[in-house]
């Protein structure tokens, strides 16, 4: 998608579709409250073109609510689209991000291939959010349909007349990088397990790294044995497909001191559950079990292009979890890279096993701060639904940086607790720890399992199981992979 920034007067822009945001400046309170939709622009011609629709009462400017005006008088645009942000008092960059995605997805099935979005106000944050939203909206998951009709938007322009050009240009440029990186993650997550094996995931990561200037190494079985990654290997041993240990490095020029941030992602390219096999219903979605690893790959792409002055190591532990005759069994005991022994209670609790060795390796490579992301537990979805992802941390200052990043990323994470009582639930009688702690508090005991390997290093764990896959299409995003985590992890890195 070609993207550009314009500072031209809205009335003079020639385009197939001019999208303008609107909001509900509600009057009155309680039962006397009445919607009062208004367009968020000072352009007199746009206001005049929209006046009749706004006065009719049929359009309320609710979040992502649209109305189309053909041949708007006084404008050179062929069509005028109003996109709602909801209540004006709550309109923010995230609402604008969704509105941009809504405008793009409105245009796609109607054969409109170029559009212009007018910003409600101009600063770097709104320009960035608009472009991010446009990229998110342009993605569709129908990669392998034989009758696929590519409806991608060919040209998307952000219009910001009278804006601070320097701030707008900076925010716009960032938005392009971040939007493309989030979609790169979504492309990876969308791939079926027979197309994206651990080896292929490593190849895709290496190709991206070469393109943007990251260091990258991809290792396999021999390296796992050399590093004594018994936990990681135990998951992959039941598959004909070899594992991939993907290591990406970002070394900004002139930065030799300070923190080293370790980004660790779960990369299970297909998860059958192993010997503790999953039910058949919805197992096809288990291609998404590498979404945490894909988020780290996408974040590393954005980091390489945005160039924050902090060193970063990205590690993705990729494997298939299969029920082969060589697969590990419930009751087995595995020795992790750290030397800790793990009693396997359920082979479907495999993500924490690969992350255990990934966290240990990140520390060995010099990481002073850690963050991991994984589609780890159904228990987290039970706790938070498909709205918030779960967050855990052993360090309040480290979490505070991540929490502050959410205001920019617009993603929703909710911090859940850790504690010795939960740690007691995963103690093993035959080894050091068990890989599950039973039914209750499952997301927390999984986090405590990872805490054993993070140890005292400041660490954040993101359980994205409930939000990495969009179950039903929304006005601003297609059903399928969401790319969650890329924006928040990037902002956390930039905070250092």
How many CB atoms neighbour CB 326 within 10 A? 11
State which H helix or E strand residue 153 sits in: none
Could you list the active site residues? Answer: 278, 352
CA–CA–CA angle 16, 20, 24 (5° rounding): 150
In 36-103, where do the E strands start and end? 37-39, 66-70, 79-87
Q: Is the distance from CB of 241 to CB of 198 less than 8 angstroms?
A: yes
Instruction: Scan for tokens 């920034």, then name that residue.
Output: 5
Strand order in the sheet with 311-321: 215-219, 244-250, 311-321, 260-271, 369-374, 459-463, 389-393, 413-415
β-strand pairing of 79-87 with 18-24 = parallel
C-alpha closest to that of 330 among 352, 346, 341: 346
State how far the Cα of 10 lies from the Cα of 18, in Å rounded to an integer: 8
Greatest C-alpha distance within the chain: 79
Q: Is the distance from CB of 160 to CB of 100 less than 8 angstroms?
A: no
Q: Locate all alpha helices (DSSP H) within 68-197, ordered by sequence.
A: 93-107, 124-138, 165-190
Q: Is the distance from CB of 188 to CB of 244 less than 8 angstroms?
A: no
How many CB atoms neighbour CB 339 within 10 A? 10
């Amino acid at each position: 998608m070609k993207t550009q920034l314009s500072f031209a007067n809205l009335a003079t822009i020639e385009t197939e579709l001019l999208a303008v945001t609107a909001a509900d400046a509600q009057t009155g309170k309680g039962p006397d409250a009445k919607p009062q939709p208004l367009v968020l622009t000072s352009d007199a011609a746009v206001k005049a073109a929209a006046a009749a629709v706004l006065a009719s009462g049929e359009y309320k400017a609710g979040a992502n609510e649209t109305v189309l005006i053909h041949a708007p008088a006084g404008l050179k645009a062929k069509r005028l689209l109003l996109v709602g942000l909801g209540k004006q008092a709550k309109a923010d960059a995230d609402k604008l991000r969704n509105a941009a995605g809504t405008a793009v997805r409105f245009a796609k099935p109607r054969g409109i291939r170029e559009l212009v979005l007018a910003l409600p106000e101009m600063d770097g944050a709104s320009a960035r959010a608009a472009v991010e939203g446009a990229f998110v909206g342009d993605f569709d998951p129908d990669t392998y349909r034989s009758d696929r009709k590519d409806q991608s938007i060919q040209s998307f322009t952000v219009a910001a007349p009278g804006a601070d050009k320097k701030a707008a240009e900076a925010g716009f440029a960032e938005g392009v990088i971040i939007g493309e990186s989030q979609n790169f993650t979504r492309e990876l997550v969308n791939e079926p397990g027979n197309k994206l094996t651990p080896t292929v995931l490593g190849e895709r990561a290496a190709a991206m790294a070469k393109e943007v200037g990251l260091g990258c190494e991809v290792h396999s079985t021999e390296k796992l044995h050399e590093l004594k990654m018994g936990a990681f290997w135990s998951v992959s041993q039941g598959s004909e497909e070899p594992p991939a240990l993907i290591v990406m490095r970002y070394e900004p020029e002139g930065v030799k001191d300070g923190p080293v941030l370790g980004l660790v992602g779960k990369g299970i390219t297909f998860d059958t559950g192993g010997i503790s096999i999953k039910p058949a219903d919805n197992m096809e979605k288990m291609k998404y079990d590498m979404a945490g690893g894909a988020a780290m790959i996408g974040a590393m792409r954005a980091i390489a292009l945005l160039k924050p002055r902090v060193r970063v190591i990205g590690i993705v532990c990729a494997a298939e979890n299969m029920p082969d005759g060589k697969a590990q069994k419930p009751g087995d005991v595995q020795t992790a890279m750290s030397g800790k022994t793990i009693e396997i209670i359920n082979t479907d609790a495999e993500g924490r096993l690969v992350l255990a060795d990934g966290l240990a390796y990140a520390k060995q490579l010099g990481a002073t701060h850690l963050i991991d992301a994984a589609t780890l537990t159904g228990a987290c979805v039970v706790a938070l639904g498909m709205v918030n992802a779960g967050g855990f941390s052993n360090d309040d200052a480290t979490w505070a940086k991540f929490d502050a990043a959410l205001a920019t990323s617009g993603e929703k994470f909710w911090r859940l607790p850790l504690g010795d009582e939960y740690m007691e639930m995963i103690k093993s009688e035959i080894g050091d720890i068990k890989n599950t702690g039973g039914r209750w508090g499952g997301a927390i005991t999984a986090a405590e399992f990872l805490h054993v390997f993070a140890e005292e290093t400041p660490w954040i764990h993101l359980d994205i199981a409930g939000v990495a896959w969009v179950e039903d299409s929304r006005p601003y995003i297609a059903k399928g992979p969401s790319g969650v985590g890329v924006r928040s992890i990037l902002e956390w890195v930039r905070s250092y």
